[in-house]
Amino acid sequence: MSSELKKLPAESFERITIDSSHSERIAKPSLSFWQDAWLRIRKNKAAIVSIFILVFILIMAFVGPMISPHDAETQTITHANLPPKVPGFEKLGFLDGVGTMAGKEVDLYEMKKVDTYYWFGTDGLGRDMFSRVWEGTQISLFIAFMAALIDMIIGVAYGGVSAFYGGRVDDMMQRVVEILYGIPTLVIVILMILFMEPGVTAIIIAITITGWIGMSRIVRGQVLRYKNQEFVLASRTLGASNPRIITKHILPNILGIIIINTMFTIPGAIFFEAFLSFIGLGLQPPAASLGTLINDGYKLVQYQPHILLFPSIILSLLMIAFNLLGDGLRDAFDPKMKD
Which residues would be at the binding site for another protein (CB under 8 A)?
Answer: 1-3, 5, 8, 10-18, 20-28, 30-33, 40, 229-231, 233-241, 244, 248-249, 252-253, 335, 338-339
Separation of alpha carbons 171 and 220, rounded Å:
12
Which backbone phi and psi does 269 adopt, to 5 degrees? -65, -45
State the DSSP string of 212-242: HHHHHHHHHHHHHHHHTSHHHHHHHHHT--H
Q: How far is the CB of 101 from another protein (least distance, A)?
A: 57
Q: Whose Cβ is closer to another protein: residue 6's or residue 104's?
A: 6
Q: What SS3 class is residue 100?
A: strand
Q: How far is the CB of 257 from another protein (least distance, A)?
A: 13
Q: Whose Cβ is closer to another protein: residue 7's or residue 104's?
A: 7
Pairing of strands 98-101, 104-107: antiparallel
Separation of alpha carbons 27 and 185, rounded Å:
55
Q: Whose Cβ is closer to another protein: residue 18's or residue 102's?
A: 18
Q: Whose Cβ is closer to another protein: residue 191's or residue 233's?
A: 233
Q: How far is the CB of 45 from another protein (least distance, A)?
A: 16
Q: How far is the CB of 328 from another protein (least distance, A)?
A: 15
The C-alpha torsion from 180 through 184 and 186 to 188, rounded to 10°, is -50
Neighbours of 56 (CB within 10 A): 12
Q: How far is the CB of 6 from another protein (least distance, A)?
A: 10
Cβ-contact 139, 197 below 8 angstroms = no
Q: How far is the CB of 1 from another protein (least distance, A)?
A: 4
Q: Whose Cβ is closer to another protein: residue 20's or residue 302's?
A: 20
Q: Whose Cβ is closer to another protein: residue 89's or residue 231's?
A: 231
